[in-house]
Structure 1
Amino acid sequence: MDQKLEFPIDDQSIIYQCIPQRPPMVMVDGLLDYHVNGILATFTVAPDHIFVKNEILQESGLIEHMAQSVALHTGFGYYLREEQAPIGYIGSISNLEIYQCPKVNQQIRSEVTVLQEFSGVTLVEITSKVEQTIIATGQMKTVVAK
């Protein structure tokens, strides 16, 4: 890799190399921190986003943001190795608690912690916040397409 990466990363060309989604379905816009066992990803809720209704990001949009944060973790690892990021799928969602949905112009920060990873299957724990308030928590199991 020719360029030196510095956090935060908000260059959409890098983000797009790490996730398969494209507008209007992109639900991550920044990478604040990355390590092998986790990531801190962001998304600022735009007023015209397809998951916004009455100036509030709907639950489905928040869940999609959480899933894309997991995808960004996987994809960024491939990006660092200068390899093409694979397509992945949500295998399951468990223990999901949504306490509140963010409003337009608020930034979601989601911390993803890898609990287990084996043979293309990853189990993670996700905590999403707006400022210091936890708005959602849960676990996801993702599967990389072979």
Structure 2
Amino acid sequence: MMQACPYDITEILYHAPPMILIDGVEAYDDNTVASVVEITADSPFLENGSVPSYVGIEYMAQSIAAYSGIKARNAGEEVKIGYLVSSRSMTLACPAFSIGDRLQIKVELVYDETPMAVFDGTIHRAEKIVAQARLNVYQP
């Protein structure tokens, strides 16, 4: 069952501002993280009023990092660095995200063979899937 995240995004990501691209985690469980990004005039990678949709892969990757960070914090451990190794089957249903868009990112663990893991990620905008990918990650 999904539960609210008790941590601020800065407590669960190895990244530091301004490279923290996701705004926060709305809910999580043992295999899933649901995070959110609001596209604003201050959003990183904004150009001419929009963020290219391919930046969505980093929104998914940072959501996976948040998953790892939540697990570490819950275990009383430090947040560790992780790496996006590759992506398979990435689909983008729009060219860009615009100011005012509220993106809901969901990543779900498919396979965990520590230090490697595989996640399926989706990005929804107004209840419609606008990006999806399978991401392979590595945490040394």
Q: Would you call these one fold, judging by a TM-score over 0.5?
A: yes
Runs (4+) of structure 1 exceeding 4 A deviation are none
- Identity across matched positions, percent: 20
Deviations 1:87-137 (A, max 9, x none): 000111110011112211211111111000012211000010112011100
2:124 pairs with 123, 129, 145, which one?
129
Distance, in Å, in 1 between the alignment partners of 2:77 and 2:9 is: 14
Q: TM-score, normalization: structure 2?
A: 0.90
Normalization by structure 1: what TM-score? 0.86
Alignment coverage as a number of residue pairs: 137
| 1:67 and 2:67 are equivalent in the alignment | no
Q: CA RMSD in A?
A: 1.6
* Residue 117, structure 1, aligned to residue 112, structure 2: yes
Q: CA deviation at 1:58?
A: 1.5
Contact between 1:30 and 1:41, CA under 8 Å: does it hold in 2? yes
For residues 23 and 32 of structure 2, what CA distance do their matches in structure 1 show?
17
Q: Any conservation in 1 of the 2:53–2:97 contact (CA below 8 Å)?
A: no
Q: Which amino acid aligns with 2:119?
A: V
Alpha-carbon distance between aligned partners in 2 of 1:132 and 1:115, rounded to the nearest angstrom? 23
Structure 1: state its 5+ residue gaps. Answer: 1-5
Distance 1:32 1:67 in 2: 16
Matched, 1:24 2:18: yes
